[in-house]
């Protein structure tokens, strides 16, 4: 197993465009998390899936953000009508049990110009 | 609510000297505590965790951390720092059934 994979690694987009990121978790992990990290800050929780069910969404996740995890496998995070404030590193993580902690991917760095 | 404080933005230490990166937490009940390390433009890598049992936990790359319930602290330590330890370190807390909450991070600089 190669760990948690995120694509693309970098994305530059113009303000107002839509972007979609993909996360492939470790295959036996049923829990999948999205976090956002801005410069000088720790990762902030966005949303959480257990299998295909989205169980929790942060208030940080505005209506422009949507996440899916079809069939409980990979997940996508879409941002519509991007704004400059969306520029950040978007991190995906997965876990099998909570006490194991999370395994993080390398992240997708989004720059909105 | 869960929260984590890392009181130092940056810690500087000479190579070969012991290092400590501080972390305090606030959570009701028994916490699960974690340390992660992040290198530039990379995701977070797991270092160690405290779930239950011995208050001193050992992790990757020679790091260890001590859980102190009375002081609600979980400081990260290493007896002898290496230049390659220079990175951004995050403490995180989890309450059972909840998600990981991270501190703001501490930059560790080890000088040769």
**Distance between CA atoms of A98 and A101, rounded to whole angstroms?**
6
Q: What is the pLDDT of residue A1?
A: 52
A33-79 tens-digit pLDDT: 999 999 889 999 999 999 999 999 998 888 999 999 998 899 999 99
SS3 A64: coil
CA–CA distances in Å: residue B71 to residues B19, B68, B77:
19, 6, 16
Nearest to A48 by CA among A58, A38, A62, A59: A58
Asked whether the predicted pLDDT for residue B97 surpasses 90, the reply is no
In chain A, what residues touch B105 (CB-CB under 8 Å)? 40-42
State whether residue A85 is helix, strand or coil: helix
Per-residue confidence band for B29, with pLDDT thresholds at 50, 70 and 90 = confident
Alpha-carbon distance of A89 to A36, in angstroms, equals 6
The verdict on a CB contact (< 8 Å) between A42 and B34 is no
What is the least distance, in Å, from the CA of B16 to any CA of chain A?
A: 27
A40 contact residues in B (CB cutoff 8 A): 104-105
Q: Which of A93, A103, A106 sits opposite B42 (nearest CB)?
A: A106
Distance CA B70, CA B41 (A): 36
Residue B19 tokens, joined: 């290092």
Tell me the C-alpha to C-alpha distance, in Å, between residue B2 and each of A71, A94, A101, B24.
Answer: 31, 20, 16, 11
| pLDDT over threshold 90, residue B1 | no
- Are the beta carbons of A101 and B46 separated by less than 8 Å? yes
Which tokens go with A21? Answer: 């990121």
pLDDT band at B70 (very low <50, low <70, confident <90, very high): very high
Nearest residue on chain A to B49, alpha-carbon basis: A101
8 Å CB contact of A103 and B46:
yes
Using 50, 70 and 90 to split pLDDT, how confident is the model at A3?
very high
Q: What is the pLDDT of residue B43?
A: 84
Q: Which residues in chain A have their CB less than 8 angstroms from residue B10's CB?
A: none
Is a pLDDT exceeding 90 seen at residue B100?
yes
């Amino acid at each position: 197993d190669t760990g948690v994979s995120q694509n693309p690694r970098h994305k530059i987009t113009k303000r107002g465009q839509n972007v979609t990121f993909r996360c492939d978790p470790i295959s036996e992990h049923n829990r999948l998390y999205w976090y956002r990290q801005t410069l000088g800050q720790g990762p902030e929780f966005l949303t959480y899936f257990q299998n295909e069910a989205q169980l929790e969404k942060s208030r940080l996740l505005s209506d422009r953000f949507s996440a899916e995890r079809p069939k409980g496998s990979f997940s996508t995070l879409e941002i519509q009508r991007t704004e400059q404030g969306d520029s950040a590193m978007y991190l995906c993580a997965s876990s099998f049990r909570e006490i194991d902690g999370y395994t993080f991917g390398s992240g997708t760095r989004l720059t909105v110009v | 609510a869960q929260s984590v404080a890392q009181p130092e933005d940056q810690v500087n230490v000479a190579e070969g000297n012991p290092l400590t990166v501080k972390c305090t937490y606030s959570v009701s009940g028994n916490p699960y505590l974690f340390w992660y390390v992040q290198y530039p433009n990379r995701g977070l890598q797991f270092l160690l965790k405290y779930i239950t049992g011995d208050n001193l936990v050992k992790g990757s790359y020679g790091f260890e951390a001590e859980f102190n319930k009375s002081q609600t602290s979980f400081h990260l330590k290493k007896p002898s720092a290496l230049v390659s330890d220079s990175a951004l370190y995050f403490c995180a807390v989890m309450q059972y059934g909840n998600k990981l909450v991270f501190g703001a991070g501490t930059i560790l600089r080890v000088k040769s």
